[in-house]
Structure formats: structure tokens, C-alpha cells
Amino acid sequence: MHLPKLHGAHVPHRKNTAGMRPERMPTPKMVSIPMSMHIGAPAEPLVKPGDQVKVGQLIAKAGGFVSSPVHASVSGKVKRIDDVLSGMGRFMKAIVIEADPEQETLEGLAPPVVTDYQSFVDAVRESGVVGLGGAGFPTAVKLSVKDLSKVEAVIINGAECEPYVTSDTRTMLDDGDLIFEGIELLKKYMQVKRVVIGIEKNKPQCVAEMQSRAAKTQGVEVMALPALYPQGGEKVLIYNTIGRVVPEGKLPLDAGAIVLNCTTLAAIARYIKTGMPLVEKVVTVDGSAVREPKNVIAPIGTPVSDLFEFCGGFKSEPKKVLYGGPMMGIAMPDLSCPVMKNTNAVLAFDERDATLPEPTACIRCGSCVDACPLNLMPTEIESAYEKRDVERLKKLKANLCMECGCCAYACPAKRMLVQTNKLAKGLLAADAAAKRAEAERKEKEKARKEAAK
């Protein structure tokens, strides 16, 4: 069993935009709304080129149980359904809408009728809300619990431990009413008895805001946690708030917990209150290359180039642009990449910040092992990966790595440990797929021989 300890990294926080209320940007000329902004099956388009759509209109249905519907973030004309470049460097299907000047909201949008647990989960599904902290897991699936008595605590994630990113901070400061309306919904429809809001101590205003609301609400605790990255990691947060360990290969529910990001919960409450599904995001725009860092309210599908333009453009040529924070963010291949449901930040860095030091030989100092919040052994994983030693990688539990980056941050030799861990996980996945294919082939061969007898 892997006990998460208070390991991690003391990263600089650089929350430059924490005091900045989100500003609504002008409607972009064009949005490209991807069908894969969540974990699971892509959404399936319900519109075709030439169709007129309005803000909040359902434009793609969920492609399966683990999926999420998608709604128009602007009113206008569907220009095409195309493959667009995603932040992952892959092409994915997207509905491209040319915005009109009217920006009309769909007529008849009304709060959903919620009367019991099932209609609550259905409403969450219809809202299009997915894990907005970055994970993108469909929230309705997370809340679909067979036995509600297993939910001992819901943990609201307000830790927002990545440097620069302040969109959750703003939710706690500006939309505390929605967070607490969401908590009341969980209590009413899921019979949740214990709610814990976990916030890093370096956000004293958020702690105070949530504490003052919690004092008037039964069954809600606010925990001010050490500012140690990755405090917001799901398993780390569960351990540091309710002291439970998620068993290896299991889900938080197996430890009696559901973890919801605070912005996710606010988005659910907003939908149930107004009927407006998830069509826009607060995105932190920052980094050393950005002229005027801001928190920006952007329609989903907005090209990130428009966000930077709204923030005064670049003061120096950006050499690296990230979706998300510097620890776990993904480098963007192109500024035309769209804002997605789970985009909480776009960061642009100048040459000095974007240049990675050359890795040198491992000096066996153990700093990476010491930093890992899951007690993994990154240096050993690296060595096993270099030898393509699948069995050793399994023993080292490389698959548990949450790619938080603490090991690489701590490494004095600047080894590319996270990248290696990702490759090691890919090797394990390929090995498992090959074994499954071989087992299926054998099964078919056996059946063929039986039939020939």
C-alpha cells in the first residue's frame, strides 16, 4: 500500500492574478468547440454546416455513458465540422461556429426539474460539466454512485496548487454562494453528511471566505492545508483532509470519498439554478511573455490567440505556451488551439523561462524519491524504462505516477523524469494491450479447434 505523506515540492506560487476579478472578453469571431473535452467517448454532433445556433443550445450529444454533451458557446452559424489541432498535438473533431453580433441565448432555457438523486445526476449530465480542475472526467459519472452510504465525505478541492493558476481562487472569492448552493444540492440529493473544503494556506482570503460561509452551514469543514505542491492532487488531498488512502488501482469512493473541484461544483449549481449549461470558462492568462496578465471569461472554443490579444499581446516572443500550470501543463503546438472545458490557464513564457537546462548524469542523491508524494522511485523507474524492463516497471508501480512533476522539480541533475514516467506508462499500456490481444487470439484459436472437432 502506498501511503501518501507530506512529500511534494515547495514551488514558487506566482499567483499574480489572484487579486484580479475575471474580465469578460469580447465575443470571438469564430469558435472551434471540440467533441473531446472530457475523458471518455467523444460527443456526437447534432448540427450540420449552415445551421444557426444560439448560446446554450445542445450541439452534440454524449457519445456514451462516460462522455459529456456539448453546447454552443456563441450564437451564430455552423461553418463546418472539422478536425482541429488540440493542445495534445492531436487532431480532434470540432464544431466551428462563426459568431453573429446578436449573441442570442437559446429561448426557453430553464432550470432543470430536480426532485431526487437520479434527476440530480441527470441534470449534472445535461449540464455538460466535467472536472474543471483539469481532469475533464464527466462529473455525472463521478456522482453516479450505486450505494450512497459509501460516500462518507465529499471533499471540495480548493487547493489550486499549480503556480500562476488562479481561476479556482476567483471562484472561491467571487462565486462562494454557488459553491455553497452546490453543497446544499449534494446534501439534499446524495445525503452527504460531511463536506470538507481543502484549501492551501497561501490563500488566506479564500480560507476566510469559505470559513465564514461554512460557519452558517451544517456539516461543512474548511481545512487550511500546507502550501506544498501537489496538495490538489486527488489522492494527496483525500489523505491530507480525511486521512484515507485510496487503495492501489481503486477509486476515491473505495476510500469513502468523492472529490469535486470547487469550480466544478459552482458550475453544477449555476446550471441547476439557471438552466445555462457549461459554455464559458474563467481562464488565467499569465506567464513571462504576457503583457497584461488577467483572469478572462472566455467562451469555450475561443482560440487562445484571442485570449492573449485581450491581455495586450506579448511583451516578448513566447517560446513556450502551456495549457494549464507549469508543473502539469501541456505545451501547445499552435495558438489557434481552443479553450476547452477543462482549460483553467494558458501561460506563455519567454525564452529564459522556456529553456530547459541540459540533463546531466544521475548522482543517486534520492531527492526525486524524497519529493514524490506517492512514494514512488522515479530514478529506478527511469532505469527500468531505459532497459524496457516491463516486469520491473510493474514492481515499481510506475502506473501509479500522477505526473505531478515533483521529482523532476527536485532533481539537481535536471533529469526528464516526468517524460520518462509517461513513456514508462505508455510501455506498460502497450504491454497490457499486447497481452490482451494474445489472450483473445488464443481464445479464438481454442474456439476454432473446438468447433472443428
Site residues (vs ligand SF4, CB under 6 A): 362-368, 371-372, 374, 376, 378-379, 401-407, 410-413, 415, 417-418, 421
Least Cβ distance, residue 249 to ligand SF4 (angstroms)? 15
365 vs 434, beta carbon nearer ligand SF4: 365
Least Cβ distance, residue 368 to ligand SF4 (angstroms)? 3
CA–CA distance, 357 with 353 (Å, rounded to integer): 10
Least Cβ distance, residue 45 to ligand SF4 (angstroms)? 36
CA dist list (Å): 438 to 114, 441, 442, 450: 48, 5, 6, 18
388 vs 414, beta carbon nearer ligand SF4: 414
74 vs 411, beta carbon nearer ligand SF4: 411
Least Cβ distance, residue 162 to ligand SF4 (angstroms)? 13
Instruction: Show the beta-strand stretches assigned E in 100-202.
Output: 153-158, 195-200
Least Cβ distance, residue 405 to ligand SF4 (angstroms)? 5
Nearest alpha-carbon partner for 304 in 87, 130, 96, 125: 87
Instruction: Show the beta-strand stretches assigned E in 112-177.
Output: 153-158
344 vs 421, beta carbon nearer ligand SF4: 421
10 vs 80, beta carbon nearer ligand SF4: 10
Distance of CA 342 to the CA centre of its chain: 5
340 vs 404, beta carbon nearer ligand SF4: 404
339 vs 418, beta carbon nearer ligand SF4: 418
Please compute Rg for the chain using Cα positions: 23
* Cβ proximity of 41 and 8 under 8 Å: no
CA dist list (Å): 133 to 150, 158, 171, 319: 24, 9, 12, 25
Residue 345 DSSP one-character state: E
Question: What is the edge-to-edge ordering of all strands in the sheet holding 91-99?
Answer: 30-34, 91-99, 76-85, 52-53
Least Cβ distance, residue 330 to ligand SF4 (angstroms)? 14
CA–CA distance, 410 with 157 (Å, rounded to integer): 25
Least Cβ distance, residue 389 to ligand SF4 (angstroms)? 17
